[in-house]
Structure 1
Amino acid sequence: MGVAVLATVAASRTGTATDPVAFNSGYALALVFSAAVFVLAAAVAAVVLPRRVASGGDGRPTRPSGTHGRVPA
């Protein structure tokens, strides 16, 4: 996630205030926002990504079809 997105989220909470409490509140919101995006990305990755490599029954990964025993260059 870009720093620009987090800075925008923080600035939306801070507004035009310049006191440290306002900055702290803005940065806290940006941190919560980035943590939520991270959790969402982890959940999507857990669902979408394959869990294991297909094997040929002996525990070794299988070769892609069409290689016929040759190692692609």
Structure 2
Amino acid sequence: MKIKDQFITLGQALKEVAVIDSGGQAKWFLAEIPVWVNDEEENRRGRKLYPGDQVTIQDHGTFMITRDDR
């Protein structure tokens, strides 16, 4: 996943990769589905993700945060 800003929140990232339809679903999703950031379980939708962070979502796969320098 490429980002243009310095960081993206976990809730925004879940929406961006189409795991959830709206930001309002992030809190529920994170309470029900295991998500790991850099191999540590994470349930805060406001967790800031930076280039180089790896996100793993149970039953959805793994993606890496990268910087879009365009």
* Greater fraction strand: 2
TM-score scaled to structure 1, two decimals?
Answer: 0.22
| Higher CA-based Rg | 1
TM-score scaled to structure 2, two decimals?
Answer: 0.23
Higher relative contact order (CA 8 A, sep 6+): 2
